[in-house]
Amino acid sequence: MATHNNKLDPALLGKIVLARFLELPLKAFDRCVTRVESSAAFSALAPWVRTATLEGAGLADDAGGSHSSIGLPVLGEVRKAGGDLAFLYHRASYAREYLFDEAALKHFMSCRDFSQDVGRALHRLRLINSRNRLTHALMQALLELQADYLASGDPLALVSLTQARLSERLRGSRPELPLVADAGRISRLVRGLSIRLADGKAIALAGLFPRPRRICCHLIDALIKQEKTLIIEGKLARPLSDEGIAEILEREYGVSLSRRTVADIRHQLAIPDWRRRGDRKDYLVATEGFSPLVPLTPQALKSVVPAHPGVYEIRSVAAGPGEDDPVRAQNVSPAEATRVVYIGSAQDLRKRLGDHLRGSSGNTRLFRYLAEGAARVRFRVLREGWRQMERQLYRVFCDTFGAPPPCNRMSP
């Protein structure tokens, strides 16, 4: 009669245990470290085990809560240190490392005092080492490969990266890792984690491994948002067609996409075609009937702007505070790119604009924009309903560009 041996190969069993340990949620992992270090078995191992922090790992003193707004545990955060980026862990357990006196441990394991509990604790310490060393190597590699995105938070700065490519990099640059950093282990480790960027935004760690199509989604979304600004500035007569988008991607980004692929991505992003975008009421349509742009100067206020109620829009010709920084300039939002810095209304347009120009309106941010260079204004006289019109313009501007003008401190 044949017998069946259902026992797993020890090497295979070890791989399964490690895989499950890499998948542990951060809170469960933190509890595991605390439980092991407070056990009697850990005390028994104390003469041969030294607790340390991973080389080059830092801790965030002001990490606060360990959960992000996207619902995933936060491993740590990216910080700018001079011209470099550093990653700081939110808990000491995430950067824990145990250093063993292997020769003495081997002798201790052969003694009668070496119990099963001590053996399990020792195995758990080695698992913690494996996970933390892989995590640290992973984060250091991502700080290099996705440096531009981690510093700016701009999706256009992401580079296409696969977990297989990162695995090859770690194998070549981190021979001291106690485990093979294959793509499967990286996938298990990152799928339930998030990190916080330098700007405070929390993202899923898996988001740092974008496929080429996702990069194309960001590019197309940015181009379509930019077209609204170009139309307002008179640099574009109508919204971009799919063929036009494909041509710009090829010319400016070296990305070759067919018209059908552009249309497919546009549908995925729930963006209408150029005809529907042209027919949609946006900020350009909402400001029909406004005066031509005039310089915001005392002379223009006296000669052009009437002392009547109405709505107005102020545009800054010079860069706003901080926008002369090349890094800042690369991350200017579509709303800021219009140079529309303020939308307002007043019962007396001339008086109100004069207050802004003199800095006596109470809006110090707007005054900084006006003081840094020439500004222009356009307006529309309304005998009644000017406050309602201001609220409508504000809402349409936010819908069109995704953010309010930088000097509107609150919704009207």
Structure tokens at 380: 């529309």
Q: What is the pLDDT of residue 34?
A: 95
Query: Quick one: pLDDT at residue 379?
Result: 94
Range with the poorest average pLDDT among 31-45, 62-76, 103-117, 379-393: 62-76
Which of the residue ranges 111-115, 124-128, 213-217 would you say has the lowest mean pLDDT?
A: 111-115
Q: Which of 57 and 63 is assigned the larger pLDDT?
A: 57
Per residue in 290-308, is it b (16+ CB within 10 Å) or e — as a string?
bbeebebeeebbeeebeee
Which run of H or E residues covers position 356? Answer: helix 349-358
pLDDT for res 390: 94
- pLDDT, average across residues 246-255: 91
Q: What's the rounded Cα separation, in Å, for the pair 312 and 366?
A: 14
pLDDT, mean over the chain? 84
Per-residue pLDDT, 267: 81
Non-local CB neighbours of 317 within 8 Å, separated by 6+ positions: 339, 373, 374, 375, 376
Q: What is the pTM of this model?
A: 0.64
Express as a percent the part of the chain with pLDDT over 70: 87
Indicate the pLDDT class of residue 135, thresholds 50, 70 and 90.
very high
d(C-alpha 320, C-alpha 327), whole Å: 14
What is the model's pLDDT at position 80? 86
Buried b / exposed e across 177-208, counting CB within 10 Å, b at 16+? eeeebeeebbbbbbebbbbbbeeeebbbbbbb
Can you tell me the distance from the alpha carbon of 406 to that of 398, in angstroms, rounded to the nearest whole number?
11
Q: Which one is predicted more confidently, 26 or 328?
A: 26
What tokens does 123 get? 């195995």
Burial class (CB in 10 A: 0-12, 13-18, 19+), 12: exposed
Q: Which two tokens stand for residue 25?
A: 């949620």
C-alpha span between 292 and 378 (Å, rounded) = 6
Amino acid residing at 312: Y
8 A C-beta contact, residue 137 and residue 186: no
Q: What is the pLDDT of residue 84?
A: 86
Beta strand residue intervals within 231-339, DSSP E: 294-295, 310-316
Residues 72-84, mean pLDDT to the nearest whole number: 84
How much is the average pLDDT of 75-96? 90
- The helix/strand/coil state of 238 is coil
Measured CA to CA, the distance from residue 152 to residue 229 in angstroms comes to: 22
Fold of domain 286-401: GIY-YIG endonuclease (3.40.1440)
- Measured CA to CA, the distance from residue 341 to residue 370 in angstroms comes to 10
pLDDT score, position 300: 86
Average the pLDDT over 210-227 and give the result.
89
DSSP 90-103: SSGGGGEEEEE-HH
What are the DSSP E strand ranges found in 259-365? 294-295, 310-316, 340-346
- Classified by CATH at the fold level, domain 212-280 comes out as Arc Repressor Mutant, subunit A (1.10.10)
Q: Which residues pair with 203 in a beta bridge?
A: 195
With H, G, I as helix, E, B as strand and everything else as coil, classify residue 395. Answer: helix
Average pLDDT over residues 365-377: 84
Alpha-carbon gap, residue 58 to 253, rounded angstroms: 37
330 has pLDDT over 50: no
Helix axes 349-358, 364-372, angle to 10 degrees: 80
Alpha-carbon distance 329 to 316, whole Å?
15
pLDDT, average across residues 65-83? 71
Query: With 50 as the cut, is the pLDDT of residue 325 above it?
Result: no
The tokens for 203 are: 């993202």
CA 396/CA 388 separation, integer angstroms: 12
Comparing 377 with 232, the larger pLDDT belongs to 377
Amino acid making up residue 395: R
Query: Which pLDDT does position 412 carry in this prediction?
Result: 80
Top-ranked range on mean pLDDT: pick from 64-68, 107-111, 321-325 = 107-111
Where in the chain are the domains? Answer: 11-208, 212-280, 286-401
pLDDT tens-digit map of 16-26: 888 899 999 99
Q: How many residues does the chain have?
A: 412
- Over residues 291-307, the mean pLDDT reads 88
CB atoms within 10 A of CB 136: 21
Least confident of 123-132, 230-239, 249-258: 230-239
Which amino acid makes up residue 17?
V
